[in-house]
Amino acid sequence: MNRRVYVAALAALTLAACASAVVTSQPWTPTPEADGWSPVSVSTRAVGLGLPGARLAKGVRFAGGVTLLADRNSPLHSLSDLKLTGDGGFIAVSDVGDLARGRLRLDTDGRLIGLDGFQVRRLTLGDGAPIRRKPEGDAEGLALTANGDLLVSFEREHRLWNYGPLTALRARPETMRRPDVPFAENDGMEALAVSGDGWLVAGEAGGVWDCSAAGCAVLTAPPEAPIPFHDYRITGVDRDPAGDGWFVVQRSFGFPGGLRARVRRMAADGSLGPVLVELKLPGTTDNFEGIAAERRGDRTRIYILSDDNDFALQRTMMLAFDVAA
């Protein structure tokens, strides 16, 4: 994300937005255990919607939320996508090239009340060396295939890589098919999800593609001019576990509205449905970029994750919503 665009607007809004200063190295020193993951200490605090800023569609209810209280040098900043692992856990990726995992803590009513068991590891480059620089490690999209392989999309140096199963990540990732599009440096493959036997890719500045090893079919053609920052851009996507489409999170930033976010369904043909969740001032809102969905009883549980861009005026939050079928 382009820091200059947002910092300029901060002067008017006193609200942080997307940032991307060039980082030459990571601020934390990993102490990996035998499996390559490093434990990280962090606490969480409950957060609500701060009504009346939020708007929920009929059949949608808030199911709890937390904000991470991470110290300045913690690797748990700049988390840019989110997926569930199916065992009460989650996996996230950061836009400086780190992979994070943890567990959801729910109360007896199933509401999100905390996050536990954080561990982090660095992603690697094509030659197996750990990512060290922001231009190499600007990971934005994350997906877990049906057989458990981890797919990660990067911008700046645009690529889509397969790191293999979470239980045995490969040091040398495999290059996967991606849209044959000349993405702008900071407007790349922002959102990633599974799609049948393939993967769905959404570009931040527009365009949605359904990809497989054979190629990428266009679902929504990228516009001639990039979607402006003050309009809603897709920043995260996950498969709808109850249907043949997806759920997307969109973000917009502009004066005078500040940062806003929406959750919507996306049909199999790429068309977007009505707004299910809208977050805006004066309620709880931030730079939401990650989304994950699962079935819980007769409802679909959606989690969304915000990217704080390692910026003091922003927060890393996870919010949960239950959507009726």
DSSP codes of every residue in 247-269: EEEEEEEETTTEEEEEEEEE-TT
d(CA 66, CA 153): 26
Q: Which amino acid, residue 109?
A: D
- Per-residue pLDDT, 24: 35
Burial of 115-154, coded b for 16+ CB within 10 Å and e otherwise, reads beebbbbbbbbeeeebbebbbbbbbbbbbbeeeebbbbbb
Mean local confidence (pLDDT), 212-226: 96
- Per-residue pLDDT, 243: 85
Please check the confidence at residue 30 and state whether its pLDDT lies above 70: no
Write out pLDDT tens, residues 150-201: 999 999 999 999 999 998 999 999 999 999 999 998 899 999 999 998 999 9
Tokens of 157: 């140096």
- The edge-to-edge listing of strands for the beta sheet with 174-175 is 139-144, 149-154, 159-165, 174-175
Please check the confidence at residue 86 and state whether its pLDDT lies above 70: yes
- Per-residue pLDDT, 67: 98
- Per-residue pLDDT, 34: 56
Q: pLDDT band for position 26 (50/70/90)?
A: low
- Mean pLDDT of the chain, nearest integer: 90
Longest dimension (CA), the chain: 50
Q: What percent of the chain has pLDDT over 70?
A: 89
In the chain, where the domains are located:
3-324
Domain 3-324 sits in CATH at 2.120.10
- Per-residue pLDDT, 13: 39
Identify the DSSP state of 135. Answer: H
d(CA 304, CA 47): 13
